[in-house]
Structure 1
């Protein structure tokens, strides 16, 4: 069983209001420095488990949702501290998450 952690917000928030590209680029460079495999994905309009969809809709996020999904709980906690205005949570899956647009 794989445990996934996420930070979700509107696409507008991630793409226009926060420097998410810079944040993720710096994180990738950090992973490369320590020879760590990238274990996070930035997904637009994520197709995600029902429990996650419910929690997002409870927070009134619209259809233009974006999410950063990771196997690293501490990374998502750090993002929550860095970005603040995101919804965080977790879900489990029997299979490894592979984004549809890969």
Structure 2
């Protein structure tokens, strides 16, 4: 069973009005320098939001949702403090999401 920590928000707001691109680009570069594999991704695929694990939380987001998924709770907690209008959520699944 895999545990994933997720921040879900409105796609337009999250990707256009928050510094998400800059934050994730810097984290990606840091991981490359440390030769560390990525433990996060951005999801905008509607199929993900219709899955059993997520669909109840998706209903709390107005219009199109977007999510940042990680198995690093500390990173998601830090992002949650940095970003506005997001919902933090945790799921356990046999699926590999990252």
Q: Fold-level match, TM-score > 0.5?
A: yes
Structure 1 residues 2 and 28: alpha-carbon distance in aligned structure 2, compared to 1, 3 A threshold:
same
CA offsets 1:12-52 (integer angstroms, 9 cap, x no match): 11122112111110110121222210011101144143232
Summarize deviations over 1:45-87 as a string: whole Å, max 9, x none: 4414323220231x2x134100001111111111001113211
d(CA) in 2 for partners of 1:63, 1:44: 12
Distance 2:22 2:7 in 1: 16
Which TM-score applies when normalising by structure 1? 0.83
Task: Indicate if the aligned counterparts of 1:7 and 1:68 stay in contact, CA closer than 8 A.
Answer: yes
Question: Structure 2 stretches of 5 or more lacking a match?
Answer: none
Q: Which residue of 2 aligns with 1:43?
A: 43
Structure 1: where are the runs of 5+ without partners? none
Report 1:22-101 matches (<5 A). 22-46=22-46, 47-48=48-49, 49-57=51-59, 59=60, 61-97=61-97
TM-score calculated relative to the size of structure 2 = 0.86
**What is the rounded CA distance, in whole Å, between the counterparts of 1:2 and 1:86 in structure 2?**
22
CA RMSD of aligned residues (A): 1.6
